[in-house]
Amino acid sequence: MPHRALFSDRREAGRELGHRLAHYAGHEDVIVLGLPRGGVPVAYEVARMLRAPLDVFLVRKLGVPGQPELAMGAIASEGVRVLDRALIAQHGIEPEVVEAVAQRERAELEERERIYRGRRAPVDARERTAILVDDGLATDSTMCAAVAALRQHVPRRVVVAVPVAAAEACDELEALADEVVCACMPLFFHAVGQFYGDFSPTTNTDVRCILDRGAGS
């Protein structure tokens, strides 16, 4: 039996999330960071409702060679790198292998940053409340990497906010973030897209346009 869509699209999901985050509305220290690509249209609605600056938070997992879904670390903008040294040691991964993976992911991150931001500087997260937004979480791996990378920017508070998530993903993030807001945690969770009426792919051009709109609002 198919699931009834919880949200018509990412914009509606963002508005629902904005209501859940209303206690941050109008606070001057709040920024909203969307994870590309699908998290950015959700984050736009959140930022609009909270009257907060919008930006994209670029993070790339460093996958273990041969097991790309297993993260041995992450990189983010401005040279931030976080490594899981225990996992690297456990798998016997040599430093030059880690460096090769990091260089490859760094090139991809820099290309996406160029596409998304152009010459616009990132929003400064230092000593601010940073709300990390995605369109949903089937697993917590990418968001965990994002939280770890964002901590390197020394925000005052890190809030993870998603419209829909697997309960286990939210539970695990509770230990990493200062606050986790999951609007819906369905009992049977297979994929994020099953809870959206329209889950069309968000393109790089979409992300750039949304960020340009957010910067001008």
Structural domains in the chain, CATH included, are 10-54+125-216 (3.40.50.2020), 60-117 (3.30.1310.20)
Q: What CA–CA distances, in Å, run from 56 to 3, 95, 116?
A: 30, 30, 8
Looking at residue 1, its pLDDT comes to 38
Against a cut of 0.85, is the pTM above it? yes
Task: Give mean pLDDT, residues 155-167.
Answer: 96
- As a whole number of angstroms, the distance between CA 102 and CA 99 comes to 5
Whether the CB-CB separation of 146 and 59 falls below 8 Å is answered with yes
- Reported as a single tens digit per residue, the pLDDT across 168-208 is 989 989 999 999 999 999 888 888 999 999 999 999 999 99
The DSSP call for residue 158 is E
**70 vs 47, higher pLDDT:** 47
Looking at residue 216, its pLDDT comes to 59
2: pLDDT strictly greater than 50 = no
Neighbours of 195 (CB within 10 A): 22
Beta strands in the chain (DSSP E): 30-34, 54-56, 59-64, 67-76, 81-83, 129-133, 157-164, 179-184
pLDDT band at 217 (very low <50, low <70, confident <90, very high): low
Nearest to 24 by CA among 57, 43, 52: 52
